[in-house]
Amino acid sequence: FAQDKKSIVITVPQKQDAAKQNVALGPGGNQYQFKFDSVLHEVSQEDVYEAAASDVLQSLLEGYNGTIMCYGQTGAGKTFTMSGGRQSFKQRGLIPRVLTQLFQEVKAQSDTEFKVTVTFLEIYNDQLFDLLDITTQPHEISVHERAGPAQGGGAGSGVSVSGLRSVVVGSEAEALQLLFEGETNR
């Protein structure tokens, strides 16, 4: 991991007879550098929240849509990142932290009306699953791209998913109960 916390450098051991084996090496010989917005290595769940979710939550409170998504192979830590560990409160993941902060902000902004809805979507083996309604079949869920003004569409552009159970919640406890329900249905 590079010191800039935005790069990963991978060094591939170079064999003496690499040329004979037709091994392709990167421009730096046996080193490859990959740049990202941020690289989080050996950080706390709080650090992950600050880096990945706090700005998204702030945008939500300003009326924008927001998505936080984990992607990766099995066992990479996606569920731990999103939901957290079960050993301690300090290990709670992004979703519980966002819900806590969201409902604190909603309560603090009593002059503004908020409607908080929860859906729980899992993408597995290229299929979509509604974890709040396990009777929904993957073919009943679809993804749509909405055109924005620049593409001749309405005010809101982006991606939406139809066919998911959407539940209006009025408290952090209600939302966390749905998180528990969805996790149970995985």
pLDDT of residue 10: 85
Q: Measure Cα distances from 151 to 58, 65, 154 in Å.
A: 27, 19, 9
Mean pLDDT of 68-86: 90
Q: Which pLDDT tens digit goes with each residue over 57-75? A: 999 888 888 888 888 888 9
Determine whether the annotation assigns residue 77 to a binding site.
yes
Evaluate if residue 37 carries a pLDDT over 70.
yes
pLDDT of residue 148: 63
Confidence grade of residue 162 (pLDDT, cut at 50, 70, 90): very high
Determine whether the annotation assigns residue 79 to a binding site.
yes
Q: What percent of the chain has pLDDT over 70?
A: 86
Determine whether the annotation assigns residue 153 to a binding site.
no
Q: Which pLDDT tens digit goes with each residue over 97-131? A: 999 999 999 999 999 898 999 999 999 888 999 99
pLDDT of residue 163: 94
- Report CA 172 to chain centroid distance, whole Å: 19
Determine whether the annotation assigns residue 81 to a binding site.
no
pLDDT of residue 20: 53
Determine whether the annotation assigns residue 85 to a binding site.
no
The backbone torsions φ and ψ at residue 38, rounded to the nearest 5 degrees and listed phi first, read -160, 145
146 or 105: whose pLDDT is higher? 105
Beta strand spans in 12-59 (E): 31-35
pTM: 0.78
Summary mean pLDDT of the chain: 86
Evaluate if residue 24 carries a pLDDT over 80.
no
What secondary structure letter does DSSP report for 130?
Answer: E
pLDDT of residue 172: 96
Q: DSSP letter string over 88-109?
A: -GGGB-HHHHHHHHHHHHHHH-
Evaluate if residue 22 carries a pLDDT over 80.
no
Between the ranges 22-26, 74-78, 149-153, where is the mean pLDDT highest?
74-78
Joined tokens for residue 33:
């550098």
The backbone torsions φ and ψ at residue 145, rounded to the nearest 5 degrees and listed phi first, read -100, 125
Question: What does the alpha-carbon distance between residue 85 and residue 146 come to, in Å, rounded to a whole number?
Answer: 36
Strands 127-130 and 158-162: unpaired
